[in-house]
Amino acid sequence: MNGIRLALLLGMLGVTSGLQAQSTPPALSDVDSAPAPVPYLPSIADLMTSSVQPRHVKLGLAVQYGNWTYAAYEASELRGAIKRISRTIPVYDRKMNTESLMAIILAPLDLLDMAIKAKDGAGARRAFSALTATCNACHQQTLNRNYIVIVDPKATAFPNQDFRHH
């Protein structure tokens, strides 16, 4: 009896006719002639803008508010993003080894990690500013991209997140 009710309900909704229409497979010639999808290959700029820059902002805000647990999390996430970029794009601009390029950022990040663990507000702010300066030195001196200037965040780009310590 329940099967009949279901069949009637599906029939009233027109589901069965749609299912029958979709059950016919496409012709083999249609499948063969479709172009293969082109995989998305992000540029280093795509990855910096989507992975590194937001982490930098969130890390800076967590340090600013003394939210040490969240700052440690974002520092770890920033480190991971940098490592993933160097694995995804091993050579930049057909000449630079991105692993060595990204290693430039790890020393100031290590100092920041130590200040965060110590819950040293002044030390963490100095280390974060040194991290930002290192980003700029890499952009401007190493990569000749003097038009890319990173600053310590002054306001949040994430109005739906509270960065204060809870």
The domains found in the chain, sorted by start residue, are 45-142 (1.20.120.290)
pLDDT score of 33: 74
Cα dihedral 4→7→9→15 (10° resolution): 180
- Range in 59-63, 73-77, 151-155 the model is least confident about: 151-155
pLDDT score of 94: 86
- Is residue 104 classed as helix, strand or coil in its secondary structure? helix
- Range in 3-7, 16-20, 90-94, 152-156 the model is least confident about: 16-20
Task: Residue 129: name the closest of 63, 67, 53 by CA.
Answer: 63
pLDDT (average), residues 66-95: 94
pLDDT score of 28: 58
Side-chain-side CA neighbours of 109 within 13 Å: the count stands at 22
